[in-house]
Amino acid sequence: MIPRLPGPDSSLRFLRDGYRFVSRGADAVGADAFRTRLAGRPVTCIRGRAASRLFYEGDRFGRAGAMPVSVMHLLQDEGSVQAMTGHGHHVRKAMFLGMMLPEGIERVRRAFDDEWRAGVARWSRVPEVRLHDELVEVLMRTACRWVGIPVDDDEVPRIGGDIADMVERAASIGPVNWAARARRMRAERWARDVVRRARDGRLPVAVGSPLQDLVTHVDADGSPLTIEAAGVELLNLVRPTVAVARFIDFALHALHAHPRWARAFAAGDESDLRGFVQEVRRFYPFFPVIAGTVSRPFDGLGGSFAPGDWVMLDLFGTNRDPRLWHDPESFDPTRFRDWDGDPNTLIPQGGGDAASGHRCPGEDITIALVEEAVRLATRETDMTLPPQDLRISLRRFPALPRSRVRVAVHGLRTG
């Protein structure tokens, strides 16, 4: 039997413990699963490798009703691939996976390189910039170039800010969330307009571009995407790309906190670059949990699950699980030199298999972008971090360094 966390409701405890809520609860009951209530709703919280495998493999879970409406409307909205299950999900997911092949990843990397260098020219004209905010624009431009959308210098900052706000305010409630949802609706109008113009010939569509894939895609039932669904999925390409700004912030934080890695990369030693990026993704807080609703009855983790049961998988805690990671509270990129690649141990963007499950299909693009950012920051850009508050609160969803990473940029290095 799965133990129950003491107390009638754990909402305040979740706010108090933040990213460590599930792990602390699991430690308290001595199990990898516990039952409680959040905002009055019964939920089972789970953590660890076996929990990730249970959650992502075997089509046991759906996404209907898994997230509060306020979060759903900001991050996914109705009709998106993340909200689908079964054969329909696999067909829609295959479209996204086809966009993430090596040649597509290389296009993203080259676009980001160009946009970073253009950004340096702007940033070097002022004493310092808040890098997170600047990265939003850089990554919005990168996403547009990759997808095949003409970059509008007036439109990019506004739409990029709208999209970044979806992630920034995902855990908010009340007026702050309502304002973010209004910005989401404005971004959706922009995305629908892009789709309409692409379909009626007013917007040139490059052969082989993600935009072409999107506007010509046929779903499992043989029908093309509606304008509304295509607009939502267009945002599902752009929004996660913009959200990579958070991982880049954390990478800069790690380079500052562990300067030996900055020195190694500046000298051209990239033998541990992939490990460094993976360790950033493991160590730093991205999203705390992922939720699902049970699709069919099954037994696991010491208990029984019935259709409709609400379940939350601990992403952050699984990435810090001492049974899976030696000294998990330490930042150590060398741990990935002999990592076995188990998809249910490193799960900042979900677990399981990307092709058959709900793991983020853009994970390889995330890794490529953060790797390129580390190269550019350490080898190509003359920049320093002035004194600032770089503490990261694990009670803030989603987390960021308090200063949002202020940098003084002096220009591109020569020679």
Which tens digits make up the pLDDT trace of 214-233?
999 998 889 999 999 999 99
Least confident of 142-151, 153-162, 381-390: 153-162
* pLDDT at residue 351, as a whole number: 92
- For residue 350, count CB atoms less than 10 angstroms from its CB and return exposed for 0-12, middle for 13-18, buried for 19 or more: buried
Identify which of 236, 211, 251, 249 has the alpha carbon closest to the alpha carbon of residue 107. Answer: 211
Domain count, the chain: 1
Mean pLDDT of the chain: 92
Q: Residue 63 contacts by C-beta under 8 Å, 6 or more apart in sequence? A: 76, 82, 83, 84, 85, 292, 293, 358
Identify which of 232, 147, 236 has the alpha carbon closest to the alpha carbon of residue 188. Answer: 232
* pLDDT at residue 168, as a whole number: 83
* pLDDT at residue 69, as a whole number: 64
Mutual orientation of helices 273-283 and 259-266 as an angle, nearest 10°? 150
Does the structure show a pLDDT above 80 at 41? yes
Cα–Cα distance, 259 to 265 (Å, whole number): 10
* pLDDT at residue 164, as a whole number: 87
CATH number for the domain that contains residue 343: 1.10.630.10
Cα–Cα distance, 140 to 74 (Å, whole number): 17
pLDDT digits (tens, 9 = 90+) for 270-288: 999 999 999 999 999 999 9
Identify which of 404, 388, 368 has the alpha carbon closest to the alpha carbon of residue 100. Answer: 368
- The pair phi, psi for residue 245, each rounded to 5°, is -50, -35
Structure-block tokens of residue 279: 């360790």
Residue 319 forms part of a structural domain: yes
Residue 121 forms part of a structural domain: yes
Q: Do 172 and 185 contact (CB within 8 A), yes or no?
A: no
Query: What are the C-alpha distances in Å from 156 to residues 149, 163, 227, 350?
Result: 11, 10, 21, 29
pLDDT digits (tens, 9 = 90+) for 161-170: 888 888 887 7
Does the structure show a pLDDT above 80 at 171? no
Residue keyed to tokens 């690649």? 341
* pLDDT at residue 329, as a whole number: 98
SS3 per residue for 215-278: HHCECCCCCECCHHHHHHHHHHHHHHHHHHHHHHHHHHHHHHHCHHHHHHHHCCCCCCHHHHHH
pLDDT digits (tens, 9 = 90+) for 92-125: 888 988 999 999 999 999 999 999 999 999 999 9
Q: Left (φ > 0), alpha (ψ -120 to 50) or beta: where does 60 sit?
A: alpha
Neighbours of 301 (CB within 10 A): 19
- Nearest-Å Rg of the Cα atoms of the chain is 21
* pLDDT at residue 357, as a whole number: 66
* pLDDT at residue 177, as a whole number: 72
Structural domain that includes position 388: 11-412
Residue 392 forms part of a structural domain: yes
Does the structure show a pLDDT above 70 at 89? yes
* pLDDT at residue 82, as a whole number: 61
Mutual orientation of helices 175-199 and 227-257 as an angle, nearest 10°? 120
pLDDT digits (tens, 9 = 90+) for 317-352: 999 999 999 999 999 999 999 999 999 999 999 998
Residue 254 forms part of a structural domain: yes
Helix (H/G/I), strand (E/B), else coil: 126: coil
* pLDDT at residue 84, as a whole number: 58
Q: Check residue 101 and report its DSSP letter.
A: S
Identify which of 9, 118, 45 has the alpha carbon closest to the alpha carbon of residue 380. Answer: 118
Segment (H or E) for 344: none
Residue 320 forms part of a structural domain: yes
**What band does 76 get if pLDDT is binned at 50, 70 and 90?**
low
Query: What are the C-alpha distances in Å from 321 to residues 48, 301, 325?
Result: 7, 16, 6
Residue 159 forms part of a structural domain: yes
Residue 236 forms part of a structural domain: yes
* pLDDT at residue 90, as a whole number: 75
Residue 1 forms part of a structural domain: no
**pTM to 2 decimal places:** 0.94
pLDDT digits (tens, 9 = 90+) for 354-413: 766 667 788 999 999 999 999 999 999 999 999 999 999 999 999 999 999 999 999 999
Question: Binding residue per annotation — 144?
Answer: no
Q: What is the mean pLDDT of residues 15-27?
A: 97
Does the structure show a pLDDT above 70 at 56? yes
Q: What is the mean pLDDT of residues 28-43?
A: 97
